[in-house]
Chain A
């Protein structure tokens, strides 16, 4: 167990491109740290740099207070779980899990004891003498975990370990990973592009974008107080809605209508109070059908519904707002990452699509309209130039 400190860590390739740019990150002893971001954001490279599989071009990496930039992977005492598991196909499960201990020339009886203990934790006892080719995806994944935990290393590094599993198994293994980490209390760095994993697993989450850490915070703070448009748009599913708005004194003009700024929000608001354009962000769950909850305070308006998706426990209602379209490089990149950039309904012309998460009791229908109420106390305001949040200290 150890703390891992990244100091201005940079990865520069011979052609000059930088995959990781001056990353500063403190990962505490026993902490479960998630690196999350769209593909190509440098999260995997950063993890491989910690493992020693990629050279560190600039800056320092400290494990347990010791600078380890030049140490070979074998001397860093860390274990890694690979995306494709990287099990040795020619070895049995037992040999796979004991490989590191055998290399360290541990006592064979001791190796056996530790392998069997790990197998018990992971429920692999029956499969110890089988080869990886004869295991199911979930079992292989557990062997990969087992290979990491038998060593009791200073830290676990996991590179999208669940992304090759099917959806149901992924949810199951997610809780498994969490349980093991809590039991062993080993410092863990976990790379994922799946924000659900990021939110559910991590003590803290570092959101990365093109080699730069955007925000490091607890999952809850990331969700409630994103520091910029990118984090706001990346965290949450369905993602936060963004519409163009205008601040005038104590009033905010949203495409849905005008409303006074809530006191609490005004207190946090940065700026000189002059009238200006802003980007307003609101999560889908901050809308509600006013006929279902008539007493709910907030901005009331009528929305013409175009699409309704029923999840059983709730409804996602999509509607377009006029004059609400926002352009921002942060949002374009997010759309590109999810492959939505070319979809016509993603803000064509001057209209912006908004999704509202409504109670299942709502009778929203495609083509009909719904009396919406928007909880304005949760509004997020962002600077249109640069995308910084105007409401987070």
Chain B
């Protein structure tokens, strides 16, 4: 593969020397090698995961690059266990609710921070951001005690609330930069056209900030979907367990067997929604992350 890219790149490099000054610079051949190496480096672990998930029994201890006897047994067995399907449902509920609340509350907060005249806006935004720098382990233990006392321990809402502590700063930060870029005149035009403040927000500001909302939603969803530390601290039974925790609790057929095959299969399954989301929206994610960097 590397050889092929070098072969392709060479004529391009020659051509570049001939083209006039001011033409688009072509990609140098060595960059292709570097890029290919990085891509392989990133994808090999995932390939290994898929590889293991297709193996059973003695094959698991082998290091074959291609499974000698590929089988979907692992997949079949995880979907037969109710603890995994329940965990999938829990994960979906927790992630979607966190995303929804994070977007709605975050959008209102970000709009206020971007538009309203109030003192201490910069400080407020600074505080919101500083929350994201707290290590989660610092709140895990206190939350465990608190949740036990007030009855939120081992509940889904007990997960959504702490998840909002990282979802909100993220969405506020991204959305503030989006809202700031929307000319104020547009809202004023809507107000004069007969809109209430909320209508101006919903019909003019929100549609224009849609790329930012999509980015925020996806990033929040991914973070909530993958979260492990709080989920494992704050849940105890399959009723409230999310998938990452459930996978860690998989048991082998004996105490001494590591359930590698089923864990890999489950990991592949929970990666699929994220892969689809990111592939669908990757342009918007990039646009959202770089918003405000340059004037469009």
Tell me the A residues contacting B by CB distance below 8 Å: 51-53, 72-74, 78-80, 82-84, 86-90, 99-100, 103-104, 147, 151, 157
The answer to whether B199 touches A86, judged by C-beta atoms less than 8 angstroms apart, is no
Could you say which of A78, A86, A104 contacts B189, with CB atoms under 8 Å apart? Answer: A86
What mask results when residues 139 to 175 of chain B are scored 1 for a CB within 8 Å of chain A, else 0?
0000000000000000000000000000000000000
* Most chain A beta-carbon contacts within 10 A, residue among B188, B189, B207: B189
The answer to whether B208 touches A51, judged by C-beta atoms less than 8 angstroms apart, is no
Query: What range describes how many residues of B lie at the interface?
Result: 10 to 19
The answer to whether B185 touches A86, judged by C-beta atoms less than 8 angstroms apart, is yes
Dominant SS at the B interface? Answer: helix
Q: Which of B2-10, B69-77, B105-113, B190-198 contacts A (4 or more CB under 8 A)?
A: B190-198
Could you say which of A52, A79, A87, A103 contacts B199, with CB atoms under 8 Å apart? Answer: A103
Tell me the B residues contacting A by CB distance below 8 Å: 183, 185-186, 188-196, 199, 203-204, 207-208
Dominant SS at the A interface? Answer: loop
Given A90-B207, A90-B208, A103-B199, also A72-B191 (CB < 8 A): yes
Given A86-B185, A88-B186, A103-B199, also A53-B192 (CB < 8 A): yes
The answer to whether A84 touches B194, judged by C-beta atoms less than 8 angstroms apart, is no
**What 4 A-B pairs are tightest by C-beta distance, nearest first?**
A100-B193, A86-B185, A86-B189, A103-B194
A86 to B: closest C-beta gap in Å:
4
The answer to whether A147 touches B208, judged by C-beta atoms less than 8 angstroms apart, is no
The answer to whether B194 touches A53, judged by C-beta atoms less than 8 angstroms apart, is no
The answer to whether B183 touches A73, judged by C-beta atoms less than 8 angstroms apart, is no
A147 to B183, CA, bound (A): 18
A150 to B: closest C-beta gap in Å:
10
The residue in chain A whose Cβ has the minimal distance to the Cβ of B206 is A90
The answer to whether B207 touches A74, judged by C-beta atoms less than 8 angstroms apart, is no
The answer to whether B186 touches A53, judged by C-beta atoms less than 8 angstroms apart, is no
The answer to whether B204 touches A88, judged by C-beta atoms less than 8 angstroms apart, is yes
Given A74-B196, A103-B199, also A86-B191 (CB < 8 A): no
Could you say which of A82, A83, A87, A100 contacts B194, with CB atoms under 8 Å apart? Answer: A100
Given A84-B183, A84-B185, A88-B186, also A53-B191 (CB < 8 A): yes
B208 partner residues in chain A, CB cutoff 8 A: 89-90
The answer to whether B185 touches A74, judged by C-beta atoms less than 8 angstroms apart, is no
